[in-house]
Structure 1
């Protein structure tokens, strides 16, 4: 047993062993690490909660072992423990020091010792989820950060620069009550558990879960958790605790709210990651610890009964298994039916409680979907027409939009809109009546979609040329049925569909004509020296940027590059430039930024 030192402070209420070691060392005029070395103590072991080393410290300071030991965060391999609670590494503040200025001011006011030796570090200040003093209802204030290994945990030295500023810090402090999460976590440390569902989870898991859920509740499903400030984390923790304190029912209700408020995107998938945002990604990718399994279980159950997920999909790495629900989108893909048609059927059958919802949010039982679609397949619907005509879906769409294939209504309601088989046959007859059978090896023609692509026109234009009798040759393949059996010659189509010839040259070709680099051309265009126009390419039908022939001639008549002058005079460019300067001819000042030298032709002899 060691003798008590003459100069030893009294341990404060809830003071940590590291704080007491720092104050004991400072009272004896040395740093904490120097003190530990002088008295054969292991500084790091005290920080890590070694009971043997803390007992030695208590003997030197004359304080009760139990008073310090209960405020010890013990290292337990890769994790940590505080009393009966399990902590993670990020549950503890190691390189930052936060204090309650009211507590420090009270320490100083109630002691005759020097202020720097009186203030002590509380256990709650070392817990990263705690950001408010529960005694004074004041936000903790950061007084040191990014501490280097050699000065960490030396409380007296860490707050020394803040001691003279305590009155000013206290005046500026934020007054607020402890959040529900902070009160709950501190109660757990004291052995007063009060939330049945959360009590089953470790301390660190409750803190992380509450802050994550609360951040999404307060700042949106796409919140960047790493960029939240301490005040935002305080708000998030409180909001998350209020949700989770209600147990699985409250958590599920929150998830349902996220689902309900999700704004459907025009493109992209809408699985659980998109709908739940950080709630799903955080527990699916960033927190693999099994301590979060209760949270993942609630999310999984919600997703399975709320989203139309197929057996090939996964939730947190586990296959969904049997599909329970279909959405209009998933059913349309699985059964190869157009979603608009399927939507009409679903709404008419009463399977959509809210018809205003988008396709991805209208869900119904798998069996109901099967019965509905099977009934639809017995009639000539929009989805069956392309197959009946043997026409690609894209081509059928443009033919339908152009009015070449008509749809009829047999009664009230959109469900009675059908295609007549007779009219579909008449359409095929109109493009086949003047055709001649082509041997299988004859490659002289192309079917209509291929010919349209090669001629750079719409299939509608080709069909109308056939129906109007304007083509002299129409072939027919005997081994192919319907629309795709019709053959036409591309060369015969092109004269009918070609557009206006370009009035100039594309920018890429003008550079070679003017003998300038493309960067110079861009500079001239940017300065307005050469104007461009937009015109539709007669072959590709795409809009292209051109420089008209008139514009090119105008520029060439007014300006000439140093390169072209040297070429015309069969001299090197420096020699030409020297000759021109000698007679007072200067380059065009406005073109200095384009990367080439130009002269006005009127000034060049």
Structure 2
């Protein structure tokens, strides 16, 4: 009878004329191997309050006034720690030196009258937790949150309480050191997440992960999630932990760089999914400092990223491949077979995309190279527009000479070739790069007016006293308030466009907006003093350096006495 064996319950039903189902609803029936059937739910011994006898002193006081004491079926559940009727914590009585197998409350709880009232007065009032109420309702056949209902009752309770321990007490909390009240609090906290399913659980796990964003070294899963991780990975009972193990594994794999073959909660990682700067540099045989700077520019890691910051494998390898293909700026004239001024002009008009490293925006660190594939593409397109010559032909000259004769920048001639403005474009066999091209300077002169309307990119950023990179960031923002529009000139090849700027638009921008360097020049001050005065007066920029590389202020916000 004490063990709730089926035959004993059947005999009791026969003697008492009470339906067997009613008796079984109040008794965990043993199925073997520390497993029980409770109201159709399979639960383990840890789910039950045994070996403790649990009671509510207020309930026993009511029993004493009306008749014999009786236990309540929910008191047998370890998760039930609060009397839902009286709103006070349940008390736990350990086994005495003698073995009362039937747990008769008359003997186990000797207090009566004033003794019980003293226990009641000592109790701190509290409402039953939503976690506890969920368990009781589920055992009463009511549906609850979808994710929790999809777990076994054991798994639902354990996932909720373990997650609550991690959130409330931290990863280093020793589970055996927790009191019943600690577990009750953990259940309250954890239920706020598990009741919202995977989304809620992920929210809690990612918040825990974020606490280690600034940690030194490379904190692993055990350090970040220790008490939860170890409880799920090394349970002595070898119970199936349920879906929370899969969710924790996914969060770990999605956020911590690990090599292929690493075991995470019993499952081996089939392939590497994330890299750190160090692991990517080692794999690709690159200098980690150069690689780190390029990863920052590519937006894969923040500027002050910790060493363990995760980088998606494929995107990281793409950046690494660019490093390997990089041609330094100093080598570009040779690589393109052109002059250094033309190289600068190609950057000005975005015909070349710079690869930065060393910290973009910091003085002394500018573009250091270009992807060799981009160079090959540019030269290949130029050569594709030309007819091959076996030898020089009179009247045709190199790009640089044609630019000189037509009094235009060399990049304008390059634009004319790419935009199919010129009909007579040739390439000398056996020569490489831009130096191999030959054009008719008279033809360049005919198209000069159309292709040079307004201001060039170089003239625009010089007028505004900003760098070309800042100019293009302003263009990219168009039509925002603080931005610049560009006037594209299109030739016979509509895929190629020549960037030009309307002088009126540039002049209007100069009137409406300014930046510290221009203010300093206008008033004969140092830039640092200008910035200091702006801050003291509380003048806020309309567009910040973090957004485009320079602080831009509305001129109407600057009082006349600010810099005098």
Q: TM-score range by the shorter chain?
A: 0.5 to 0.7
SS at match of 2:37: strand
CA contact (8 A) 2:145 2:195 kept: yes
Tell me how far 1:302 sits from its aligned partner: 2.0
CA distance in 2, matches of 1:63, 1:130: 26
CA distance in 2, matches of 1:159, 1:359: 59
Match of 1:197 among 147, 162, 176: 147
Note closer, same or farther for the CA distance 1:220–1:284 as it changes in structure 2 (3 Å cut): same
Tell me how far 1:162 sits from its aligned partner: 2.8
Note closer, same or farther for the CA distance 1:106–1:314 as it changes in structure 2 (3 Å cut): same
Match of 1:357 among 305, 324, 341: 305
CA distance in 2, matches of 1:236, 1:221: 13
- Paired residue for 2:52? 96
Match of 1:319 among 253, 264, 268: 268
Note closer, same or farther for the CA distance 1:413–1:249 as it changes in structure 2 (3 Å cut): farther
SS at match of 1:257: helix
CA contact (8 A) 1:152 1:158 kept: no
- Paired residue for 2:134? 184
SS at match of 1:87: strand
SS at match of 2:275: strand
Tell me how far 1:182 sits from its aligned partner: 0.2
Give matches, 1:498-577, under 5 Å: none
CA contact (8 A) 2:2 2:101 kept: no
- Name which of structure 1's ranges 295-304 and 63-72 shifts more when overlaid on structure 2: 63-72
User: Is 1:69 aligned with 2:69?
Assistant: no
- Paired residue for 1:5? none
CA contact (8 A) 1:93 1:128 kept: yes
- Paired residue for 2:249? 300
CA deviation vs aligned residue, 1:499-531 (integer Å, no higher than 9, x gap): xxxxxxxxxxxxxxxxxxxxxxxxxxxxxxxxx
CA distance in 2, matches of 1:151, 1:409: 75
Tell me how far 1:286 sits from its aligned partner: 1.9
- Paired residue for 2:225? 276
CA contact (8 A) 2:160 2:190 kept: yes
CA distance in 2, matches of 1:211, 1:299: 15
- Paired residue for 1:218? 168
- Paired residue for 1:513? none
Tell me how far 1:86 sits from its aligned partner: 1.3
CA contact (8 A) 2:3 2:30 kept: yes
CA distance in 1, matches of 2:224, 2:119: 43
So what's the TM-score if we normalise by structure 2? Answer: 0.55
- Paired residue for 2:118? 168
SS at match of 2:242: helix
Tell me how far 1:62 sits from its aligned partner: 6.2
- Paired residue for 2:545? none
SS at match of 2:171: coil
CA distance in 1, matches of 2:288, 2:102: 64
- Paired residue for 1:368? 315
Tell me how far 1:61 sits from its aligned partner: 5.3
Match of 2:9 among 54, 79, 85: 54
SS at match of 1:359: coil
CA distance in 2, matches of 1:342, 1:415: 15
- Paired residue for 1:590? none
- Runs of 4+ more than 6 Å apart: 408-411, 415-418
CA contact (8 A) 2:275 2:311 kept: yes
Tell me how far 1:55 sits from its aligned partner: 3.5
Give matches, 1:203-602, under 5 Å: 203-262=153-212, 264-267=214-217, 269-286=218-235, 289=238, 291-352=240-301, 354-361=302-309, 363-377=310-324, 414=365
Tell me how far 1:276 sits from its aligned partner: 2.2
SS at match of 1:132: coil
Note closer, same or farther for the CA distance 1:308–1:160 as it changes in structure 2 (3 Å cut): closer
SS at match of 1:98: strand
Note closer, same or farther for the CA distance 1:270–1:337 as it changes in structure 2 (3 Å cut): farther
Note closer, same or farther for the CA distance 1:249–1:368 as it changes in structure 2 (3 Å cut): same
CA distance in 1, matches of 2:124, 2:76: 19
CA contact (8 A) 2:263 2:269 kept: yes
CA distance in 1, matches of 2:359, 2:202: 45
SS at match of 2:136: helix
- Structure 2: tracts of 5 or more residues without a match: 329-357, 370-564
CA deviation vs aligned residue, 1:138-195 (integer Å, no higher than 9, x gap): 11012x2144572233323543423352111111112111111100000111111211
CA contact (8 A) 2:168 2:189 kept: yes
Note closer, same or farther for the CA distance 1:155–1:89 as it changes in structure 2 (3 Å cut): same
- Paired residue for 1:495? none
CA deviation vs aligned residue, 1:11-58 (integer Å, no higher than 9, x gap): xxxxxxxxxxxxxxxxxxxxxxxxxxxxxxxxxxx2332233123335
CA distance in 2, matches of 1:413, 1:130: 66
CA distance in 1, matches of 2:196, 2:187: 15
- Paired residue for 2:101? 152
- Paired residue for 1:133? 83
Tell me how far 1:122 sits from its aligned partner: 0.9
- Paired residue for 1:502? none
The CA RMSD over aligned residues, in Å, is 2.9
Tell me how far 1:330 sits from its aligned partner: 2.5
Note closer, same or farther for the CA distance 1:413–1:158 as it changes in structure 2 (3 Å cut): farther
Tell me how far 1:347 sits from its aligned partner: 0.7
- The number of aligned residues is 338
CA contact (8 A) 1:95 1:152 kept: no
CA distance in 2, matches of 1:349, 1:65: 70
So what's the TM-score if we normalise by structure 1? Answer: 0.52
CA deviation vs aligned residue, 1:385-438 (integer Å, no higher than 9, x gap): xxxxxxxxxxxxxxxxxxxxxxx99995547689xxxxxxxxxxxxxxxxxxxx
Tell me how far 1:263 sits from its aligned partner: 5.4
CA contact (8 A) 2:212 2:219 kept: no
Note closer, same or farther for the CA distance 1:68–1:367 as it changes in structure 2 (3 Å cut): closer
